[in-house]
């Protein structure tokens, strides 16, 4: 739900207080699936990333996500020998 009105204010029907706003409203409006190729997996416990996403006006190559350590800080990984591995399911 986009709770921001055209009058430069929050819609009180959806955003009565900060906690309710955070739970029910989205401000950014980015379409991650069609623009960046990022979707949740079928179990809702991970994500799917496409390398090439063809949109209506352009193509996007590569996708990236950032892991948050807290509400306003990125998670820093201190990698031993600078290696990062993850499992890729390329069956589809």
Residue 3: its pLDDT value, please? 76
Asked whether the predicted pLDDT for residue 86 surpasses 60, the reply is: yes
| CA gap 75, 72 in Å, rounded | 10
Q: How far lies 34's CA from each of 26, 83, 85, in Å?
A: 17, 30, 26
pLDDT computed for residue 1 by the predictor: 63
pTM: 0.45
Answer for the pair 44, 26: CB distance below 8 angstroms, yes or no.
no
pLDDT at position 58, please? Answer: 80
Report the pLDDT value the prediction gives residue 88, as an integer from 0 to 100: 67
- 11-50 b/e (C-beta count within 10 Å ≥ 16 → b): eeebbeeeeebeeeeeeeeeeeeeebbbeeeeeeeeeeee
């Amino acid at each position: 739900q986009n709770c921001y009105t055209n009058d430069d204010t929050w819609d009180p029907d959806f955003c009565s207080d900060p906690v309710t706003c955070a739970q029910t409203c989205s401000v950014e409006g980015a379409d991650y699936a069609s623009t960046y190729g990022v979707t949740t997996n079928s179990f809702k416990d991970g994500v799917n990333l496409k390398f090439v996403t063809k949109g209506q006006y352009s193509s996007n190559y590569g996708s990236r996500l950032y892991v948050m350590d807290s509400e306003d800080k990125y998670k820093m990984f201190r990698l031993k020998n600078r290696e990062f591995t993850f499992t890729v399911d390329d069956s589809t």
